[in-house]
Amino acid sequence: MRAYNFSAGPAMLPTAVMEQAQAEFLEYPNEYASVMEISHRGDAFLSILSAAESDVRELLQLPNNYHVLFLPGGASAQFFAVPMNLCGKQTKVAYANTGLWSQKAMQEAKRYADVVEVTQLQETDYVSIPASHTWTQVNDAAYLHYTDNETVSGIEFNFIPQASHVTLVSDMSSNIFSRVFDVTQFGLIYAGAQKNSGPAGFALVIVRDDLIGQALKITPSLFDYALQVKAHSSLNTPPTYNIYLAALCFRWLKQQGGVAAIEKINARKAQKLYAVIDRYPELYRNRIDVSCRSRMNVTFALPNDTLHARFLQQSAALGLINLEGHRTYGGMRASLYNAMPEAGVDLLVSFMKDFASAV
Ligand code: PMP
């Protein structure tokens, strides 16, 4: 009876993962207790943590000079942890403003550093991403930050910005593990867990070794990357059950053939959905420039409130749920993260065709 859940996050988890968690809910093998009830310093949890880390390394092909951290506070905590850890003696940081989430990251960074906005988009312009050669060049910034996928409007980068003189930092909350990319272009990547890694409860942080150890004095210990690297993300009690579920998700992704294999499926899912949107442009309007349409969050709007309400009601009756868009933009948003089965997209596409024929 599980529905196809198009929520932008917390999002659908693989059914196989939920079933395994269910089977081990009361007693984790050989522990006679739940993962929730065992020590974060004990061997059983430490091996879960180390499996999670090594699977992340394998999935993203991380070189040894990158650390993997599971930190509290979700991606929003990284909005302040990044400037606190990476500014060092520099005061200037650069941010590409491409949507709501990059804006939030930038606002938070302004508390700790002088922010240079390298793309001057207005909110109404959040429909395309300017080519990086048009961005303001800032060579003396501690880093350049951008949001690889803007979850709210449904904009995704189809390139890695050139940042030869500065450290590149990316918020990949809503598209990490969805496609292959070259990690070595980045100094730091972070992602909230609740889309492609597991349930909400931590942020995954991947940071290059030479960038740690220069946190501002005011940095709380919990968010000091160097201290957390030393403590294996366990400076305090980590969200053990969430890390366990994420470890199951990483293993599941490896079983699917890893990131390269899921990338193909993700491309196909998004292509099918955009094809039906483009086939009925009067009914389903997507505002985003074709070159940067998100593969993860497909947004579209119907022409009026009556059709909007009817669409939501009829789709939900078929088990297609949480299609309503973010409160800022309204309309619809179908999030197609790794755990959304292709069959869910096929059902949505066939519903959208039927809906179009009926109006
Ligand atoms: N960045 C992006 C791109 C997001 O989509 C979100 C959450 N939707 C966040 C940051 C904030 O994440 P969290 O709620 O984990 O703090």
Per-residue pLDDT at 18 exceeds 70: yes
Q: What is the pLDDT of residue 19?
A: 97
190 lines ligand 1 (CB under 6 A): no
76 lines ligand 1 (CB under 6 A): yes
Round to whole Å and give the CA distance between 66 and 268. Answer: 31
Whose CA is closest to atom 12 on ligand 1?
75
Per-residue pLDDT at 97 exceeds 90: yes
**Structure token digits, residue 203:** 């942020």
Q: What does the angle CA 238 – CA 239 – CA 240 come to, to the nearest 5 degrees?
A: 90
Round to whole Å and give the CA distance between 313 and 120. Answer: 39
Round to whole Å and give the CA distance between 344 and 340. Answer: 7
The structure tokens 């940042």 sit at 163
Round to whole Å and give the CA distance between 48 and 44. Answer: 7
Task: Give pLDDT tens digits for 6-17.
Answer: 999 999 999 999
Task: Give pLDDT tens digits for 181-237.
Answer: 999 999 999 999 999 999 999 999 999 999 999 999 999 999 999 999 999 999 999
User: Around 92, how many Cα atoms within 13 Å sit in the side-chain half-sphere?
Assistant: 10
Q: What is the pLDDT of residue 141?
A: 96
Per-residue pLDDT at 251 exceeds 70: yes
Q: What is the pLDDT of residue 132?
A: 85
User: Around 324, how many Cα atoms within 13 Å sit in the side-chain half-sphere?
Assistant: 12
Respond yes or no: is residue 195 known to be catalytic: yes
**Structure token digits, residue 346:** 């096929």
Q: Cα–Cα distances in Å, from 202 out to 134, 219, 222? A: 35, 18, 12
**Structure token digits, residue 103:** 């804006």
**Structure token digits, residue 27:** 């007693």
What number of helices (H) and strands (E) belong to the chain?
A: 9, 13
Element (H, E) at 268: helix 258-279
Respond yes or no: is residue 264 known to be catalytic: no
Q: What is the pLDDT of residue 120?
A: 73
**Torsion angle defined by CA atoms of residues 349, 338, 332 and 309, in that order, rounded to the nearest 10 degrees:** 70
147 lines ligand 1 (CB under 6 A): yes
Among 354, 196, 194, CA closest to 265 = 196
Which residues are within 8 A (CB) of 98 and not within 5 positions of it... i.e. 6 or more apart?
119, 121, 126, 129, 146, 147, 150, 155, 157
Q: Dihedral sign for Cα 192, 197, 200, 205, please.
A: negative
Task: Give pLDDT tens digits for 303-326.
Answer: 999 999 999 999 999 999 999 998
Average pLDDT, the chain: 96
Respond yes or no: is residue 217 known to be catalytic: no
Among 321, 313, 326, 311, CA closest to 280 = 311
Q: What is the pLDDT of residue 163?
A: 80
**Structure token digits, residue 299:** 């947004």
pLDDT (average), residues 48-53? 98
171 lines ligand 1 (CB under 6 A): yes
55, 135, 148, 171: the catalytic one is 171
Question: Residue 328 — very low, low, confident or very high, per pLDDT cuts 50/70/90?
Answer: confident
Round to whole Å and give the CA distance between 338 and 161. Answer: 24
Q: What is the pLDDT of residue 162?
A: 85
Question: Residue 81 — very low, low, confident or very high, per pLDDT cuts 50/70/90?
Answer: very high
Task: Give pLDDT tens digits for 181-197.
Answer: 999 999 999 999 999 99
Q: Phi first, then psi: give them for residue 96, nearest 5 degrees.
A: -90, 125
Per-residue pLDDT at 178 exceeds 70: yes
Round to whole Å and give the CA distance between 137 and 146. Answer: 14
Question: Residue 122 — very low, low, confident or very high, per pLDDT cuts 50/70/90?
Answer: low
pLDDT (average), residues 54-73? 98
Round to whole Å and give the CA distance between 48 and 311. Answer: 43
Round to whole Å and give the CA distance between 61 and 206. Answer: 12
191 neighbors 197 (Cβ within 8 angstroms): yes
Q: What pairs with residue 24 in β-bridges? A: none
Per-residue pLDDT at 46 exceeds 90: yes
pLDDT (average), residues 137-150? 96
The full DSSP string for 312-351 is HHHHHHTTEE--B--TTT-SEEEE--TTS-HHHHHHHHHH
Question: Residue 126 — very low, low, confident or very high, per pLDDT cuts 50/70/90?
Answer: confident
Whose CA is closest to atom 9 on ligand 1?
75
pLDDT (average), residues 275-302? 97
The structure tokens 């809910």 sit at 25
Task: Give pLDDT tens digits for 329-357.
Answer: 889 999 999 999 999 999 999 999 999 99
Q: What is the pLDDT of residue 124?
A: 66
Q: What is the pLDDT of residue 267?
A: 98
Question: Residue 123 — very low, low, confident or very high, per pLDDT cuts 50/70/90?
Answer: low
99 lines ligand 1 (CB under 6 A): no
